[in-house]
Structures are given as structure tokens and as C-alpha cells.
Amino acid sequence: MSIQKKSSKIGVPNVVYSIISLGAAILLWLFISSTEAHVVFAKPSEVFAALSKLFESGKLFVHINASLYRSLMGFILAFACALPVAFLLGWYKPLQLIFYPWIKFVKSIPPIAYISLVIVAQGVGENAKVTVIFIGCFLVMVINIFQGVQNVDLTMIKAARVLGAGDFTIFAKVVVPASLPFILVAMRLGLASSLTTLIAAELTGAQVGLGQMIQEASMYFEMDVVLMGIIIIGVIGTILDQVVSFLERRLTSWQETRTI
Amino acid sequence: MAGNQDNMMPDQNNVPKVKIRNVTKTYSSKRGDVIALNGFNLDIKENEFICVVGPSGCGKSTMLNILAGLDNATSGEILVDGNVIHGPSPDRGVVFQQYALFPWLTVKKNVEFGLRLKKLSRQEVSDIADHYIEMVGLQDFKNSYPKELSGGMKQRVAIARAYAMQPKLLLMDEPFGALDAQTRTQLQSELLKTWEEERRTCFFITHDVEEAVILAQRVIIMSARPGRIIDIVDIDIPYPRNQETKMEPKFFELKNKIWSQVYNQYLEQRK
Ligand SMILES: Nc1ncnc2c1ncn2[C@@H]1O[C@H](COP(=O)(O)OP(=O)(O)OP(=O)(O)O)[C@@H](O)[C@H]1O
Ligand SMILES: [Mg+2]
């Protein structure tokens, strides 16, 4: 009976395992914070207290909003640019030969390395942060979507061609759907990159934001706030990832083997 | 080119549907040229079922791709209904060995893909698709995705998709090559039945001599690379044929005759 339940979508066993998993994590946390590691690793109760204090003061959402705005803004702009650029590179060989090496070159540089450059150019304001996130995200996504376009099975294109499809139809009805799994992987990597770059950018100086909050708290040795900030970032990352997973399930369930 | 000396009088029965004139194909690469085809000449009559056999690498797929318009001949020309072909056309349907279904489309949408590009109403598109899906016996799987189908079922969809376009010429490149023996026999029987009903001109490549003899009116035997035709064998076994036909002495005789020639070419290639 329980075996049959497992296969159903909202089966009880899965939930039980989730609770066990969460409980084990909290137990581990309790254990670590009860040892000497307590100096840097605050207790769950302390972290929770810090959370409610910040929540009541209203500051929590100021930080979250600021961070989310920057990372999502950078991500969305990057996605809107990466999609057409990747398809153009895949479609026109000369463009690929001219631009792709540079994209790969800049991609190999961690965004943190050129943050200073952007800050000098744009100041320490919002724009600089969005720009840095944009660049990092854009490069990651262009490369992945481009690989998707390159990987479109040639027999699929041939099949479309003998069924009477012209270039435009092949693009819209074959190349785009065939690269959809890669587009979704690109989104996932782009979001991860935007979060990483965001925190790095905020640590280098900001008025508000989760990175800045962590930075400031660590200066006053408020380790409960530091740990809380880290956990919040983790939660945000997980939620964004789940959104992409949801899209993946909806849009690419036709795939033979799922790319994670 | 224009000065071909055959008369072009349209006489329904004996004027060839397809003329393949002295087609050669050379692939150039850094390591030198590979001559894949060396003077391929063949007339295919309207409604004819032709099978092509020959050792691996002799240029069968190359010939089919050129016929489909997916590849260009290095020299020579191909006429369909008297017109030189340029590029692919829905008039020449292709069934690939690797199914080549669109995995993001359901069975029905796969079959409708080419139909939607024609000037047909939605209703017509849907009706034609339904008809051919039924012909291959997949009416219960219309809304399934390719990943939910077995290899044999996928190939049935590919055949339905090609047939639905009602092409003048059907090109099949080892369509049953990836299937197990049982499914293969079953699909052979289905294909035979369909051809006996519709008599659609077929150019069918296979490795399997038995498959060639059971299906074809004429079997083309190709030489080892560079490929050209070394013999054309008429299969004078009347239709309708079925799997029992394979027990007839005539069948054995033709099969052995063709097989020994193919085997000789295989030995030739090993040298
Ligand atoms: N794109 C290509 N570039 C270079 N050489 C090629 C190319 N395609 C095919 N060839 C060569 O042309 C020859 C004929 O290939 P082809 O695929 O037509 O063989 P085939 O008769 O279909 O073989 P098989 O029965 O194994 O499918 C082979 O020797 C192959 O190496
Ligand atoms: Mg082949």
C-alpha cells in the first residue's frame, strides 16, 4: 500500500521524509551551536529572535526588497538580451566567430574581478550593482542557450525541411522548442549567478541589502544576524530554483531524459 | 543538361516518374576526397516499389539524401515528372532510420506538422492526420508524446507523417533497421498492405535482403564504394504478399541470388 502511495504526487511518505530531513538538520544545528563553535554559529533560538526583531522593525523587507530588485532586474535584462543574442550567434556563423570567443573570455572572469571597474564608471549606486549582475548573468545564459541552439539535432531540421518548412518555420517550430531545455538550464544558472554576484556586489558597499546587512552585522560580531542573513539568501535561492523547476515540469515534460 | 534525348511524351504507364541521371557525389575533406557515388543511373516508374541493397558505406544514404534534396550531387541530375529538382519538397517524403519525430509534439501534432504548412483548413488537417494515424493503428496514442512510445510505434508515426503529406515519392532510409526482428516483420506487413492499397512510389533502402525481396518489385544492388548499380533484379512474385510468401521457392531463389551478389561486394570491400 505504501509503495503505491509513494508514486502518487502528494504521497504521505514523501512528506514524512521531508519532516525527518528538516528535523535532522535542526538537530545538527542545535548540536553544533551547543559546542565551542557557538562563537560563530548562533543557536536556532537566537537566530529566530534576530529574525523577529528585524521583522518588527520593518527592516527585513527593506533588505530583501533591495536585494531582490537588484538581482531580478539584472537577471531579467540579461535574459531579454541573452535570448536573441544566443539565437543570432547560433544562426549566423560569422557572428559566432567574431563574438563568441570574447563572450567565453569575459565569462571566464569572475564578476567580482570587474566590480571595481563598474563602480568607478557608475558610482556605488544601484546602477553599478545591476550592471555587474547583468554582465555575469548575461554571459552565463548566452553560452548555455547558444549550446542549446548548436545541439539541435540535425535530422530534426532535415525532417522539418522535407515536410516543407522554410527557414522561419524551422526557427520558430524546431530550433526554439528544441532548445527550450537549455533555455531553462540557462535561467537556472543565471539566477544562481545573479545571487552570487549580488552578494559580492553588496559586500563591497551598499546602503541596504542582504549582503550589506551581513557585512554590517559581522563588524559588530552579531553572529545571529549573520547566520540569519545567510539562511534567508539560501531560502530565496531555493524559491527561485523551484520556480524554474516548475516551469521545467510544465514546459519540457516531453523530454526523454530530464536535464536537472 | 537540357539536351536529354529521352522523349518527354507523357504516357501514364511507362514514362518514368523519377530519372536519376549519372549522379556522382564526392565528399572532400582534409584527408582527401571520398567518392561516395560514381555514376548512379536509374529510372523509377510511377507506383513502383524499389528496394536498394548494398554493403555498408556504399552510398545508399547519400543517394537518398540527394533524391530528397537535402544534399547536392557533385554532378548529374535528377528529374521528377520531367523537372530537375532543387532542394527538398513536400512532394518527396522521407522516413529516417532514427525516426526524427519532434519530441515536444504529440503524435497527432507530429503528423500534422507538414500539413499545417499547406493551404488546408484546420478541419482538413485534423482529418487527414486522423486518417493516417488510424492507418498505422495508433488512434489510441494520438495525444501521446514520442517518449511514451516504443521504437516500432515511433516509426509508425514517422511513416504516418510521411504518408499524410501524400508525396509523389516516398524515400525510406532503413526505416526498420533499429527494430527487433518481430516488430520489423510486423511493420513490413503493414507497409506492404499500405503500398498495395495506395501504390505510392517508394524508394526503400535496407541492409536486409529478405526485407528487400518481400517488399520490392525491383531490387537494386549496389557495388562497394564508390557506389554504382551492379544489378537490378525483378521480383516477379505477385502481390498481395505476406509473411508466407517467404516460404515460397521463388522467394528463396531470388533471395539467394541477391544475397550472393551483396556478399561478393562485401568481400570486395574488405580487400
Ligand atoms: N558528410 C560526409 N562527409 C564525408 N564523407 C561522407 C559524408 N557522408 C557520407 N560520407 C562517406 O560516403 C560514403 C557513403 O556513405 P553513406 O552514408 O551514403 O553509406 P550507406 O550506403 O548509407 O551506408 P550504411 O548502409 O552503413 O548506412 C561513406 O564511405 C562515408 O564515409
Ligand atoms: Mg545509410
Q: What is the mean pLDDT of residues A112-127?
A: 82
Architecture per CATH, domain B18-91+170-271, reads as 3-Layer(aba) Sandwich (3.40)
Sign of the CA dihedral running B45, B47, B48, B52 = positive
Q: Report whether pLDDT(A91) > 90.
A: no
Q: Give me the helices (H) in chain A, please.
A: 2-7, 12-34, 44-57, 59-91, 93-107, 111-122, 126-150, 154-162, 167-170, 176-203, 210-219, 223-251
Extents of the domains making up chain B:
18-91+170-271, 98-166
pLDDT for B9 beyond 50? no
Q: Which of residues 228-257 of A touch B (CB under 8 A)?
A: 252-256
pLDDT score of A38 more than 90: no
Here the cell at position B91 is: 512532394
Average pLDDT of the residues in B187-194: 91
C-alpha cell at A56: 518588527
If you ran DSSP here, which 8-state letter would residue A152 be given? S
User: Which residues of chain A does B90 touch, with a Cβ-Cβ cutoff of 8 Å?
Assistant: 162-164
Mean pLDDT of chain B: 90
Specify the residue for cell string 544601484: A126
Q: Find the mean pLDDT for residues A215-232.
A: 90
pLDDT reported for residue A119: 81
- What does the pLDDT look like over A48-72, one tens digit per residue? 999 999 899 988 899 999 999 999 9
CB pairs under 8 A between A and B: 65
Cα separation values, B77 from B18, B20, B22, B80, B201, Å: 11, 6, 7, 10, 19
| CA–CA separation, B13 and B140 (whole Å) | 39
> Distance (Å, rounded) from C-alpha B125 to C-alpha B112?
6
Specify the pLDDT at position A5.
44
Q: Which residues of B touch A165 (CB under 8 A)?
A: 113-114, 117
Residue A99 pLDDT? 92
Percentage of chain B modeled with pLDDT above 90: 70
Whether B148 has its CB under 8 Å from any CB of chain A: the answer is: no
Confidence label for B2 from pLDDT (cuts 50, 70 and 90) = very low
pLDDT at res. A114: 83
> Best mutation site among B25, B26, B27 for ligand 1, i.e. most ligand atoms within 8 A of its Cβ?
B27
How high does pLDDT run on average in chain A? 88
A123: DSSP letter: -
Which residues from chain A sit within 8 angstroms of residue B98, using beta carbons? 155
**Predicted complex ipTM exceeds 0.95:** no
Rounded mean pLDDT, A197-209? 84
Residue A3 has a pLDDT of: 44
A159 interface with B at CB cutoff 8 Å: yes
At residue B161, the pLDDT reads 96
Q: Find the Cα–Cα–Cα–Cα dihedral A179, A184, A188, A189, rounded to 10°.
A: 10
pLDDT digits (tens, 9 = 90+) for B93-149: 999 988 899 999 999 999 999 999 998 999 999 999 999 999 888 999 999 999 999
Ligand sitting nearest the alpha carbon of A154: 1
Q: What would the mean pLDDT of A16-28 be, rounded to a whole number?
A: 92
Question: Is ligand 1 within 6 A of the CB of residue B62?
Answer: yes
Q: Which of the listed residues B62, B97, B206, B230 should we mutate to test ligand 1's pocket, taking the one with most ligand atoms within 8 A of CB?
A: B62
Ligand 1 center to B66 CA (angstroms): 12
pLDDT at residue A259, as a whole number: 47
Tell me: pLDDT of B228 over 80. Answer: yes
Query: Would you tell me which residues 104-133 of chain B have a C-beta closer than 8 angstroms to some C-beta of chain A?
Result: 104-105, 113-114, 117-118
Which of the four pLDDT bands, split at 50, 70 and 90, describes residue A128? confident
Query: Of all atoms in ligand 1, which is nearest to the CA of residue B222?
Result: 21
Atom of ligand 1 nearest to the CA of B65: 18
Q: Over the stretch B13-51, which tens digit does the pLDDT of each residue have?
A: 556 789 999 999 999 988 889 999 999 999 999 999 999
Q: Where are the domains of chain A?
A: 1-41, 48-251
What residue's CA is closest to ligand 1, atom 11?
A: B36
Is the pLDDT confidence value at B56 over 70?
A: yes
Query: Looking at domain A48-251, which CATH architecture does it have?
Result: Orthogonal Bundle (1.10)
Q: Kindly tell me if the per-residue pLDDT of A40 is higher than 60.
A: yes
Interfacial B residues in 56-95 facing A (CB < 8 Å): 68-70, 88-90, 92-94
List of chain B residues whose C-beta atoms are within 8 Å of the C-beta of residue A156: 100, 102
Report the pLDDT value the prediction gives residue A125, as an integer from 0 to 100. 78
Q: Which residue has the higher pLDDT, A46 or A5?
A: A46
- CB contact under 8 Å between B98 and A155, yes or no, is yes
Q: Assess whether the C-beta atom of B228 lies below 6 angstroms from ligand 1.
A: no
pLDDT tens digits, residue range B240-271? 998 899 999 999 999 999 999 999 888 887 77
Using one digit for the tens of pLDDT, what is the confidence trace for A152-202?
A: 999 999 999 999 999 899 999 999 999 999 999 999 999 999 998 888 888
State how far the alpha carbon of B33 is from the alpha carbons of B27, B37, B226, B269, in Å: 6, 12, 11, 17
Q: Does residue A170 belong to the interface with chain B, where contact is any CB pair within 8 Å?
A: no
- pLDDT above 70 coverage of chain A, percent: 94
Q: Which residues contact B11 (CB under 8 A, 6 or more apart)?
A: none
Q: Is any Cβ of chain A less than 8 angstroms from the Cβ of B175?
A: no
pLDDT score of A78 more than 70:
yes
Cα of B69 to nearest chain A Cα, Å = 8
Find the CB nearest A162 among B88, B146, B147: B88
The predicted model scores a pTM of: 0.80
